[in-house]
Structure 1
């Protein structure tokens, strides 16, 4: 029994997805123009598909799970399950208008022609804001629509914004913030569900590691209680006596978001020799 995993066959999402599977310890022999490959050390096979086709393949059971952009899932509207957000391949779906036009707010799109490859997401966004616009669905090269007179504005995926600028457009409204997600067929067999849970466990360990840092420091014993209170760790910090009397070595894990605030407290409490180490995997 093998779990069938669908990922993008080329592009940035392909690179990030393959990197994630490798971080999960899954070994694959990837050759040029490979469309299907079996892992050598995990019960799965990977299918390389057009990302827009992946939701339908998963709903139909051709693939069991897949890695796609959240924007693709919301636009496709297939009956599949979102199992986890992965934190990479982040982008946004935004509305953009010609650079020379002044922007006065969302109501400016009332009655206007908008070109996009994401008509369902955009229609929902406009409905939420009470705007009625004429949405033109285009598959590719959306940015040129205003310059050729096809539309007044566009709604497209933005990463850096350079493509919009090169086509004389400026970003004015964010419709959706998207990142890679892992989706699954809702009717997985118990055997495939068990394999999927193993994979999610590995992914969870990688995500926790990326969101945390391992720190080591020398602490004066007089302030040890204060330093420990600033370092909750996974349960509590590890404390070891140093050869120098009156000092201890303290080891702990801190979250990336709280890192600098905690470091400032540690320094105020007299901590010295603070070392910060990245974590490859984290299992709690």
Structure 2
């Protein structure tokens, strides 16, 4: 039977989150001892641990069938591969930063300046679209020290919290784009491997939907059910079960994580009691 080969970053936060996602999808695999390849014991998938910058190339060349990378790496690589699905973790942004004492007003500041970056393709496109003529200094690693050592006037780099910029005397002035982890695939998957990818996507979506929703149980007097039902539509509609206490019922439903507290307040005002909220492990709609 054919195996789906997935390339993930061999170390770092993106690697940890990628492995966690596979585990939450019920995929078991040996992990440890510095191995560069691991084969799942219960799903036809083989994991390749690679440098993140190499993953797009490996997928394009079909050494790996699919991969998980940051969108910034995907766009910068300019490889002929297919973006499949954003994964909702490892969020960051690619930004321009200048020394904190700089009197920055707008993008025109960068005309005639030197900007250090590990993302020359993205930055070049951005400057071209905004009619900025600047010199791009390509460096890898420790981009933030470039202004301090006189290599450049500014930098373009990945930003998460901004603490690294601050500690190096820089300030963020322009956000180029937002990035997160994304699943990519070869443009030439055969039918069997495409079928395996579809099965993996089914599991990934079930895990992601579970994280975005909560299972809620509550008790309420029957004369409040109509109002509470309007607040709790559920997947189709709430499940209502009679309680041993006459005139009372138990309602079960699913609510969105981002609307959670607003809905709880509404439910209490509508007469709900004994509200119990439970995390969902998998959600298959």
Query: Normalising TM by the smaller chain, what interval?
Result: over 0.9
Paired residue total: 284
Q: How does 1:39-118 map to 2 (within 5 A)?
A: 39-118=40-119
Question: SS of the counterpart of 1:206?
Answer: helix
1:233-281 Cα shifts (integer Å, max 9, x gaps): 1111000111222221110001112212211211111111111111010
Question: Match for residue 149 of structure 1?
Answer: 150
How much has 1:109 moved relative to structure 2?
Answer: 1.5
TM-score normalised by L of structure 1:
0.98
Q: How does 1:1-284 map to 2 (within 5 A)?
A: 1-284=2-285
Question: SS of the counterpart of 1:252?
Answer: strand
Q: Which runs of 5+ in 2 are unaligned?
A: none
How much has 1:102 moved relative to structure 2?
Answer: 2.2
CA distance in 1 between partners of 2:25 and 2:135 (Å): 45
CA RMSD of aligned residues (A): 1.0
How much has 1:129 moved relative to structure 2?
Answer: 2.4
1:91-141 Cα shifts (integer Å, max 9, x gaps): 111111101112212222122111000111112222332222211111111
Moved more, 126-135 or 146-155: 126-135
CA distance in 1 between partners of 2:228 and 2:197 (Å): 40
CA distance in 2 between partners of 1:113 and 1:273 (Å): 62
TM-score normalised by L of structure 2:
0.97
1:19-50 Cα shifts (integer Å, max 9, x gaps): 11111111111122110011111101100000
